[in-house]
Amino acid sequence: MRVIADSVSYLEVGHVRAYSADVRTFILRVTLILASIVNASAQSRHSGFIAVSFAIDGSPAPCDGFRVELALNGETTKPKRDRQRFEIPETFKRPPNKWTDDQRVDISLTCSGHTLIFPHQHPAFVREGDWQLGIAHPLYAAKEYAYTHEFDRGAWLGYLIFEGEPGVVTFSSQPDPPADLSDALRKEQQGASPERLRDIAYVLAVFKVEYQKNRDYLLSSLNNCLSRPKESPEDDVCDSDLLTFVANLYWRGDTALLAPLLQIAEFRRDVIGDIGTLYADLLDGRGVIVLSAMAELPDDKQQLVCKLADDDLSFNSPKRERIKAFLREARGTAAVQCLSALGGR
């Protein structure tokens, strides 16, 4: 709401310039009063409370049967609720620096029959303002939260964003696919568009439904897209999402995908334009395994993998130095080739 007030003030000031000095003064005073009312209203709305919004795959959703539980030091509290907000218990009304490092709170939130638990959160996050509770099914999670390995451990994600704490989002990995969704997707495959077929294949692979069939379909689609001339325009199937899907299946434990992912190393902006990020993550997180697989590639391909990784690492010096330190300690031709591609010692 505060952002809206600022926008109104800016727009009004732009129109005021056409009026006399007295009129400008009057309009500015009215604008400031309105802004103060809006801000006061927002502060009153949150005073002593936390408002919780709910979304499914990025779209606002109703939160029927809203419930909240907070567990701190072995004691569970069910705060007083008022529609989709709850009153902050007295226990949490203390400055952030008054909490010790070992104190953590387990947060349980329920919306429309979905109960999501976020354990071991800092108690200072329980303060007046807004929380965003959400569900991210595989397609949305892969596009928005592919960076978190929490997604690699389950069928879908629950997430909680603490507004007012920039960058603070916590995840809850959910192991079981939503009821009946797999059957609905298999039926939808009949007559689906090429883009939708690709997306369904990925979701079913994540749900471990006909895994080999759907995984092979995605890998075949990736290779077919790469068989096109370089810099071909991306379409509904041949885009960066396809690489994201195949890479995510690797991170989920399909180690046989490592070799084909390394073999497709190539400088191109279509389809695999982000593959350098994948290679950098592989070298940083699974260096020994990756070097072993790279040893099966020709020398020029080994260097290409690491040059592509270095394009991404140029924006992350600590990660680059961490990988270089690992390569200096590693043995074998692949490590030497890779270190050379990263600028040597």
**Are 126 and 56 in the same domain?**
yes
Torsion angle in degrees (nearest 10) through CA of 158, 164, 167, 168: -50
Q: Does 168 map to a domain?
A: yes
**Are 209 and 294 in the same domain?**
no
Q: Does 106 map to a domain?
A: yes
Domain boundary among 174, 194, 229: 174
**Are 86 and 162 in the same domain?**
yes
**Are 214 and 122 in the same domain?**
no
CB contact at 8 A, 25 and 12: no
Q: How many domains does the chain have?
A: 4
**Are 63 and 117 in the same domain?**
yes
Domain boundary among 144, 174, 204: 174
**Are 122 and 56 in the same domain?**
yes
Q: Does 269 map to a domain?
A: no
Range of the domain at 291: 274-345
Q: What are phi and psi of 91, to 5 degrees?
A: -55, -30
**Are 162 and 183 in the same domain?**
no
Q: Does 265 map to a domain?
A: no
pLDDT along the chain (345 residues), means of 10: 31 36 45 40 64 97 97 94 95 93 96 96 93 97 92 96 83 93 94 96 97 98 94 89 97 97 92 94 96 95 95 92 95 91 80
Q: What is the pTM of this model?
A: 0.82
Provide the pLDDT for residue 179. 87
Provide the pLDDT for residue 166. 66
Separation of CA 229 from chain center: 32
Provide the pLDDT for residue 46. 60
Provide the pLDDT for residue 343. 83
Q: Does 266 map to a domain?
A: no
Provide the pLDDT for residue 7. 32
**Are 53 and 34 in the same domain?**
no
Q: CA-to-CA distance for 44 and 48, rounded, in angstroms?
A: 9
Q: Does 259 map to a domain?
A: no
**Are 185 and 161 in the same domain?**
no
